[in-house]
Amino acid sequence: MYEVRILTIFPEIFDSFLGFGNPARAILARLLNVEPVDLRQFALDRHHSTDDYPYGGGAGMVMKPEPLVRGIKHLRANMFSPRVVLMTPQGRLFKQADAQELAGADSLALVCGRYEGIDERVRSFVDDEISVGDYVLSGGETAAMVVIDAISRLIPGVLGTDSRTDGDSFYDGLLEYPQYTRPREFEGLEVPSVLLEGDHAKIRRWRKQQALARTLARRPELLGRRTLDPSEIELLEEIRSETINGES
């Protein structure tokens, strides 16, 4: 069973999230166990304070080091080789490859900051720092949900035998190809005929071509990070040629 602990001052925020979708499915199947841990129990004063004014002045409050580090040490002592990850906008950008890497860990501890951030010294006690995007959130809890959701669907057995992840966006460094279902025609828009002919080789080629074309148009930087095989290079040349001819 994959074990996740979340160090947070708002453990209740995860109640609804863990009751739906792939995380809930994984938990119900006993493939995943997620436990939010209340950071306030590791505070040192009778008010259970977890934040204080910043040295040097400035707006807002900063999360104190003692509760966070005590909480991290507690998780390390009570979990099997946890990967301790701080959710922070200063961390490396979370990608599908990171989800796959974390899904292969023995266990995971996610540390959620709040307010203006955490005392800098806490960073010395974590293994990794992750950001889910270049924007500001109220706290690390929302980011932790993103990581848990991405990991849960990669745990073997969660999606079921009739579901696959290898066509998903970012799985192999490309955006996902277009998907269609019934009806065949909707408000003048028709399903591409190649998907209706039953030729699976042609369908695979069309889907790869569409994935490459969509990635080239919307996220071209992804192609620069990926090693293309000869068939993909050929498809890209066709796409670029069609684009040039269409513009001329």
pLDDT along the chain (248 residues), means of 10: 98 98 97 98 96 93 97 97 96 96 95 95 98 95 98 93 55 88 94 96 96 94 91 95 77
State the pairing for strand pair 2-8/32-38.
Answer: parallel
Q: Give me the catalytic one of 45, 52, 106, 116.
A: 116
**Domains of the chain, each with CATH number or no CATH:** 2-152 (3.40.1280.10), 185-247 (1.10.1270.20)
The question of whether 66 is a catalytic residue gets the answer no
Q: What is the pLDDT of residue 218?
A: 95
Q: What is the pLDDT of residue 167?
A: 54
Q: Which long-range contacts (CB under 8 A, 24 or more apart) does 149-153 make?
A: 149/21, 149/22, 149/23, 150/94, 150/96, 150/99, 151/2, 151/4, 151/99, 151/102, 151/103, 151/108, 152/21, 152/22, 152/23, 152/25, 152/26, 152/32, 153/22
The question of whether 120 is a catalytic residue gets the answer no
* 107: helix, strand or coil: strand
The question of whether 220 is a catalytic residue gets the answer no
Please state, as a whole number, how many other Cβ atoms lie within 10 Å of the Cβ of residue 207. Answer: 17
Q: What is the pLDDT of residue 225?
A: 87
Q: What is the pLDDT of residue 240?
A: 92
Q: What's the pTM?
A: 0.87
Q: What is the pLDDT of residue 48?
A: 96
Q: Give me the catalytic one of 5, 25, 114, 153.
A: 153
Tokens standing for residue 58: 């400035």
* 37: helix, strand or coil: strand
CA-to-CA distance for 231 and 234, rounded, in angstroms? Answer: 5
Task: Enter the DSSP assignment of 138.
Answer: S
Alpha helices in 82-189 (DSSP H): 96-103, 140-152
Q: Give me the catalytic one of 35, 168, 197, 199.
A: 168
Report whether 143 contacts 92 (CB < 8 A): no
Q: What is the pLDDT of residue 204?
A: 96
Q: Give me the catalytic one of 25, 82, 89, 114.
A: 89
The question of whether 116 is a catalytic residue gets the answer yes
